Amino acid sequence: MKAVIPAAGLGTRFIPASKAQPKEMLPVVDKPVIQYVIEEAVAAGINDILIITGRGKRSIEDHFDKAIELEQLLRNENKDDQLKEVQKISNMADIHFVRQKEQKGLGHAIYCARKHVGNEPFAVMLGDTINIADVPLTKQLMNAYEKYQCSIIAIEKVPREKVVNYGIIDGEKIEDNIYKINNLVEKPSVEEAPSTLGITGTYVLTPEIFKCIERTKPGVSGEIQLTDAMKILLEEQSIYGLTFEGKRYDIGNKLDWFKANIELTLKREEFAEPMKAYLKRLLND
């Protein structure tokens, strides 16, 4: 299975940090956000990855490219651990890039991958979302796809007041963590939301989604929404939702980015105890 990672957005909520660098390259602990996404794909068994980029995103390509001069410097200075880390980044998977030349929404970004994907199911992973789980979330979706042989999307319960920020599903529970979806609503009002099960941004989709995107009309903002395309797909084939086991970090705004840095630092063995001691001192002060 191939993975498609949309990373063409302008990241306006991170201005000024995102003025000259992609928000996907913002560091969380000691790695850029998008590296966590690639590592999840690889851990799920995916080694063919297409990143959808745009203007000003060249640093993403550079990060996953081979850095000959840096490798030589580290080799000369006998910094073997750092050398292995740098080499690991460029050797993780076969990573390809294509540009979304106009900002026309997530649906259009996915459509840019149609030639690379071909006629097979594929994973979609947002370039600014970190999922931490014993079994990678993408692998959980792939396992569910093997069982149901149709599109599977990751969902989670969200606070009622936050449904306005999500695509929300209307569905019926058929297993402990599986819902058969009847309808999808993009960013409904609190009163109109059919549930509190929000779409989190990780998917396994069938290739028929591309024809559905072609039939999707742009929304009020002129963007083609993936949720709208999935509603068309739902008329032709089943779609299921999976409530996954694990923790999601949506690096969509500055406060969540701060929280992700703190929580993921505490998960790192070499940093956990010093960070806990620092936070205790800080709170006591």
Between CA 124 and CA 207 the distance in angstroms is 12
Q: Which two tokens stand for residue 96?
A: 């390809």
- Residue 84 maps to which CATH number? 3.90.550.10
Residue 4, pLDDT score: 98
Specify the pTM: 0.94
Across all residues in the chain, what is the average pLDDT? 94
Q: Which helix (H) or strand (E) holds 139?
A: helix 137-148
Query: Is the model's pLDDT at 220 over the cut of 80?
Result: no
What pLDDT score does 87 carry?
A: 94
Query: Which residues pair with residue 284 across a beta bridge?
Result: none
Q: Identify whether residues 27 and 56 lie together within a single domain.
A: yes
On whether both 89 and 155 belong to a single domain, the answer is yes
Would you say residue 20 has pLDDT above 90?
A: no
Both 81 and 135 in one domain: the answer is: yes
Give dist(CA 60, CA 53) in Å, integer.
Answer: 8
In this structure, the answer to whether residues 233 and 260 fall within a common structural domain is no
Q: Which residues lie across from 94 on neighbouring strands? A: 48
Domain shared by 146 and 275, yes or no: no
Assess whether 135 and 106 both reside in one domain: yes
Pairing state between β 48-53 and 31-32: unpaired
pLDDT of residue 19: 87
The burial class, CB within 10 Å (0-12 / 13-18 / 19+), for 258 is exposed
pLDDT of residue 9: 86
211, 273: one domain: no
Distant-in-sequence, close-in-space partners of 17: CB < 8 Å, separation ≥ 6: 23, 26
Under 8 Å between Cβ of 6 and 124: yes
Query: So what's the pLDDT on residue 42?
Result: 97
Residues in contact with 236: Cβ distance below 8 Å, sequence separation at least 6, in sequence order? 208, 212
Confidence class for position 2, pLDDT limits 50, 70, 90: very high
Q: What is the pLDDT of residue 26?
A: 94
Domain assignment of residue 261, given as a range? 253-285
117-148: burial string, b at 16+ Cβ within 10 Å, e else: beeebbbbbbbbbbbbbeebbbbbbbebbeeb
Distant-in-sequence, close-in-space partners of 129: CB < 8 Å, separation ≥ 6: 37, 200, 201, 202, 248, 249, 250, 251, 252
Residue 253 is predicted with a pLDDT of 84
Sequence-distant (≥ 6) Cβ neighbours of residue 178 within 8 angstroms: 144, 148, 240, 241, 242, 243
Q: State how beta strands 122-125 and 2-6 pair.
A: parallel
Both 120 and 218 in one domain: the answer is yes
Same domain, 200 and 284: no
157, 261: one domain: no
- CA quadruple 116, 118, 122, 128: dihedral sign: positive
17-21, 41-45, 170-174, 270-274: range with lowest mean pLDDT: 17-21
Residues 232 and 222 in one domain: yes
Both 239 and 263 in one domain: the answer is no
Count of structural domains within the chain: 2
